Structure 1
């Protein structure tokens, strides 16, 4: 029967119907001739009369006998069966052909389609629909499987988009905290500089410059995030900048973030100032995230070092805190990675954002534990190297 499964529905229906119809016609013919023979046999049971004409010859003449009532009833029944049985065998053969055709060509495919539809209704797409034949229903099963696969792909894509949007929202809210904190601190410094009793024009100008710069950063960041659906799609836009200029900005902004923390801050520049092509937004976000992460867990001391060599800009942040959790060191920083059972380890969105920004800039983020403390090294590749 395997060869029939490879035929299409029309061919299979024709073959099965012809086979059973021929069998039904054969049985109909046998039934008809059998009933006819039995009827003639019963009707010819009257007897034979023999007469002697002379000593050498004789003749026989059939006698008109009177059949019994049983023979008459049997003859009537056989007469009816001569027409009923052929029709019965033909109808039965067609019914059997339909049953065999349904079970052989339709039943299993329909069961697969029904089961697949029920699982899809239950939002269960983790299955595969294997066609059991090469006919039209097999092609329908293949089309159904393609639809299921496409639905699963669409669902996974939607889930990834939702997760990516979650990452974007978390990174957006996280990275806005630091510029807002700097702005608040700059406003407080500006208020001190505006004190009529002790006016300080230089402090006023520095505060205004910092406010102007950070409001521009916030504006650029909002524009970038509003046109980006994935963190990986953020554009890296390097511009010529000296490492000393980056150091000067951090020298002004990081102390504002560490204000009232009671922790010692050491911001230094190693080596000579070098002209590089660096994305300022990427660098400042990374520096502030690493610094705030160290500020949160440091016991008393934080060191920030900036250096440039061999076409790379190095930003190193060390603290004397408890160090990074083992999961962060093994797996690397990731969004929403939670392994802070002690309540004093490094974790969160900031490290994942730093890693992503460094990689987008052709660099890397390296985390390691010291004795005591922790060390994070962010590397940015200059585009003019």
Structure 2
């Protein structure tokens, strides 16, 4: 498994500051070097001196000439400089030389050169400070717009959607720092809210359908009871009510009242089941499922139906509500026993954190009318009133509480199949896979 390296805002900030400081240092060093070279170019060399030549003419006239000279080594004596054609007039003129070091090179500069020199000195101080301010500003701007602003914008937009009660959106932000993890957590929260709202809306719709179905089904027994009451009243007034007719009418009224009582009990039981809480605990797989199958096999003791189990679950541990799963499977197997001819099969599967259990019988299968209403919470094809479809309704409600679903289908060539899926809180799973090793009668 590839290890995901988690980035950090702290590391990103330190990296941005370090790069900024390096750039500021390099720019400041370059600016100081340029200013220094400019100063060296403006100022005369510190080894420059004035070479003064003083000449005394025979008539006593004294003339001086100055020459700017650079001393590159130890001073050496200068001989007398004589112009061409005057080699024989040495006695007529006397020449002397004098060397004076330039004490202040700046004082010898022109006004423009002095201004340039002062400007370079100011730049040597101000430019590094300016680079530091600009670098800090650009670093803060970059860090906010590239690191902080994108996730903040995504989260603000998501918050606006949630405030508007709109959960039909996605948060796409794949960075791995703290803000990226926050966006990922926000997306998981949105998905949870969306799923909870969807399940709540589904349960409300199913409750409305249940109420409409019960109201529709209660109309028949109420109409029957009303008819018998009118029948008894008419025959009683006409004097044609015999003891046989009275007994038959009362018997039918009792059957109808009993049926209405079943409807009332069904609604009460279903309401109590909807209040059931899910209590998850850690279990060992597949041993826990094997014990559950052994307990379910008791339902087949007084029947001729064969019970077969198949496990496709790796060894490991998971967190689930075993009592809830047992009640669901018990209801489904009890219903399957009413239609099965020779065999009922129970199979367990584990895929992507979801535990699935299928209950398959070899009976006639579900009718087309029931398949059209297979998503309804409360439906039964039994016209006798003895079976009101409570088992499937209870199983559907319990599965929804565990974050699961129930799917109805028909298998070929005949038979019904009910698939139960519940979400697990996984802890640890091994690599061993049990496939087909537990088949057989129980």
Question: Which TM-score applies when normalising by structure 2?
Answer: 0.50
Stretches of structure 2 lacking an aligned partner (at least 5 in a row):
54-76, 82-96, 276-333, 339-362, 393-415, 417-442
Does the CA contact (< 8 Å) of 2:8 and 2:177 recur in 1? yes
Does the CA contact (< 8 Å) of 2:266 and 2:390 recur in 1? no
Distance 1:20 1:333 in 2: 68
SS of equivalent to 2:239: coil
Distance 1:101 1:54 in 2: 69
Q: Which residue of 1 aligns with 2:50?
A: 49
Distance 2:186 2:380 in 1: 41
Quick check: which has more Rg, 1 or 2?
A: 2
Structure 1 residue 16 displacement after superposition: 1.3
Pairwise CA RMSD: 4.1
| Larger RCO (alpha carbons 8 Å, 6+ apart) | 2
Q: Which residue of 1 aligns with 2:131?
A: 89
Alignment CA distance shift 1:42-1:221 (3 Å): same
Q: Which residue of 2 aligns with 1:28?
A: 28
Quick one: which of 230, 233, 236 aligns to 1:194? 236
Q: Which residue of 2 aligns with 1:123?
A: 165
Per-residue CA shift, 1:254-308, capped at 9, x if unaligned?
A: xxxxxxxxxxxxxxxxxxxxxxxx99xx9xxxxxxxxxxxxxxxxxxxxxxxxxx
SS of equivalent to 2:237: coil
Are 1:228 and 2:229 an aligned pair?
Answer: no
Per-residue CA shift, 1:80-99, capped at 9, x if unaligned?
A: 22211111111222222223
> How do 1:277-288 and structure 2 match up within 5 A?
none
Structure 1 residue 189 displacement after superposition: 1.8
Distance 2:78 2:375 in 1: 129
Distance 2:372 2:20 in 1: 71
Distance 1:157 1:55 in 2: 114
Distance 1:211 1:202 in 2: 14
Structure 1 residue 126 displacement after superposition: 2.8
Structure 1 residue 177 displacement after superposition: 0.2
Q: Which residue of 1 aligns with 2:183?
A: 141
> How do 1:178-217 and structure 2 match up within 5 A?
178-195=220-237, 197-217=239-259
Are 1:109 and 2:151 an aligned pair?
Answer: yes
Q: Which residue of 1 aligns with 2:121?
A: 79
SS of equivalent to 2:51: strand
Does the CA contact (< 8 Å) of 1:6 and 1:133 recur in 2? no
Alignment CA distance shift 1:73-1:333 (3 Å): same
Structure with bigger strand share is 2
Stretches of structure 1 lacking an aligned partner (at least 5 in a row):
234-277, 283-311, 314-327, 338-348, 363-378, 380-385
SS of equivalent to 2:381: helix
Alignment CA distance shift 1:54-1:131 (3 Å): closer
Structure 1 residue 331 displacement after superposition: 8.8
SS of equivalent to 2:109: coil
Q: Which residue of 2 aligns with 1:62?
A: 102
Question: Which TM-score applies when normalising by structure 1?
Answer: 0.56
Distance 1:80 1:201 in 2: 127
Structure 1 residue 45 displacement after superposition: 8.0
Per-residue CA shift, 1:93-117, capped at 9, x if unaligned?
A: 2222223322332232222222322
Per-residue CA shift, 1:18-59, capped at 9, x if unaligned?
A: 111111022122222332342354343897422465418975
Per-residue CA shift, 1:180-224, capped at 9, x if unaligned?
A: 011011102211332363341211222222223322321221121
Distance 2:114 2:159 in 1: 63
Alignment CA distance shift 1:185-1:203 (3 Å): same
Are 1:8 and 2:8 an aligned pair?
Answer: yes
Does the CA contact (< 8 Å) of 2:380 and 2:389 recur in 1? no
Per-residue CA shift, 1:59-91, capped at 9, x if unaligned?
A: 563376543322222233222222111111112
Structure 1 residue 332 displacement after superposition: 4.5
Does the CA contact (< 8 Å) of 1:193 and 1:204 recur in 2? no
Structure 1 residue 358 displacement after superposition: 8.1
Structure 1 residue 360 displacement after superposition: 6.8
Distance 1:184 1:334 in 2: 30
Distance 2:273 2:210 in 1: 6
Structure with bigger helix share is 1
